[in-house]
Chains A and B, each alone.
Chain A
Amino acid sequence: MKAQSREEVIKQICDFMGEDLDGEACKEVQEHISACPTCKVYFDTVKKTVTLCRENDADEKIPDDVNERLFKVLKLEDLQKK
């Protein structure tokens, strides 16, 4: 990466943060992250934040009673597969 102000670099990293974190969207930014310990910590903690939120909100099985009430409200109870 060419010599840039810290603000410019951070701006690019911020833009990258709106992309797929594992994607190839901005190789230059990824190269910078791997060479700059400060930005790497920032990037790693954003990534960990997303991972934790994803694990915390993992898919739940729909409760049977919720499903039964749904089919009843829709007047489809005779067609509900159990």
Chain B
Amino acid sequence: MTETLLVQKAKQGDKQALAQLVSQYSERIYNLALRILRNREDAEDILQETFMTVIEKLHTFDGRSGFFTWIYRIATNASLMKLRKKKVNFTEIPDNMDLHNLVDKESFVDWSHDPLWNIQNKEVKSLLDNAINELSDIYRTVFILRDIEQLSIKETAKILNISEENVKIRLRRARLFLREKLSEHFSERVIES
């Protein structure tokens, strides 16, 4: 059965179709929420909240944006609300993030080929988690949707309801911020060794 037909049947109250949609999307939504919130309990809350909203609002879904975009938008917004409620102190990314560390530098330490820096290394894992945790909500969601979930710029823009240009700007800053965070740590080690 196609997804469009499943959605149509679910809208008409077919519980079997609804259960199939839940099965199809539950893992993706759980992973999306986990990536944004970095906490399993919170991810479960968002998973339940997302599908409860889907059931409540399914009659308003008009198919213009595609079911995937619609459900991802619900889950992303719910995750963002939860993240904001937690009042985490994010690191501000300066507007000149794009350039401030580059223009005056003649060279950078190359840590990209060091086999030590892999995710089996607990220190690296914790460094990555901390770096993403420091990323404020608007940058974090773009980075996760585009670079982790590997959605297109167009899909990311639709889900977040922002322009494609805005996605590119936020993505660039998020990538550069995370690179700086890892470089602060890795470069020192490369120089020491």
The answer to whether B6 has its CB under 8 Å from any CB of chain A is no
State whether A73 and B48 are in contact (beta carbons under 8 Å apart), knowing that A41-B108, A48-B111 are contacts in the complex.
yes
Q: Is the CB of A74 within 8 A of B51?
A: yes
Least CB distance, B182 to chain A, in whole angstroms: 5
Least CB distance, B116 to chain A, in whole angstroms: 12
Q: How many residues of A contact B (CB 8 A)?
A: 41
From 98 to 120 in chain B, residues with beta carbon under 8 angstroms from any chain A beta carbon are 98-99, 102-103, 105-113, 117-119
Q: Chain A residues near B118 (CB, 8 Å)? A: 52, 55
Q: Chain A residues near B106 (CB, 8 Å)? A: 38
A44 to B111, CA, bound (A): 9
From 158 to 193 in chain B, residues with beta carbon under 8 angstroms from any chain A beta carbon are 167-169, 171-172, 175-176, 178-179, 182-183
Least CB distance, B114 to chain A, in whole angstroms: 9
Q: Is the CB of A10 within 8 A of B102?
A: yes
A73 to B112, CA, bound (A): 46
Q: Which of A10, A19, A54, A56 has the most CB of B within 10 A?
A: A56
From 1 to 39 in chain B, residues with beta carbon under 8 angstroms from any chain A beta carbon are 15-16, 18-19, 22-23, 26-27, 30-31, 34-35
User: What mask results when residues 81 to 97 of chain B are scored 1 for a CB within 8 Å of chain A, else 0?
Assistant: 00000000000000000
Q: Chain A's interface: helix, strand, loop or mixed, by majority?
A: helix
Q: Is the CB of B108 within 8 A of A42?
A: yes
Q: Is the CB of A60 within 8 A of B31?
A: yes
* Nearest chain A residue, comparing its CB with the CB of B183: A45
* Nearest chain B residue, comparing its CB with the CB of A60: B31
The answer to whether B47 has its CB under 8 Å from any CB of chain A is yes
A60 to B23, CA, bound (A): 15
Q: How many residues of B contact A (CB 8 A)?
A: 56
Q: Is the CB of A18 within 8 A of B108?
A: no
Q: Is the CB of B27 within 8 A of A50?
A: no
Q: Is the CB of A56 within 8 A of B34?
A: no
B-side residues, CB < 8 A to A, are 15-16, 18-19, 22-23, 26-27, 30-31, 34-35, 44, 47-48, 51-52, 55, 98-99, 102-103, 105-113, 117-119, 124-125, 128-129, 132, 143-144, 147-148, 150, 153, 167-169, 171-172, 175-176, 178-179, 182-183
A-side residues, CB < 8 A to B, are 6-7, 10-11, 14-15, 17-19, 37-38, 41-42, 44-50, 52-57, 59-62, 66-67, 69-71, 73-74, 76, 79-81
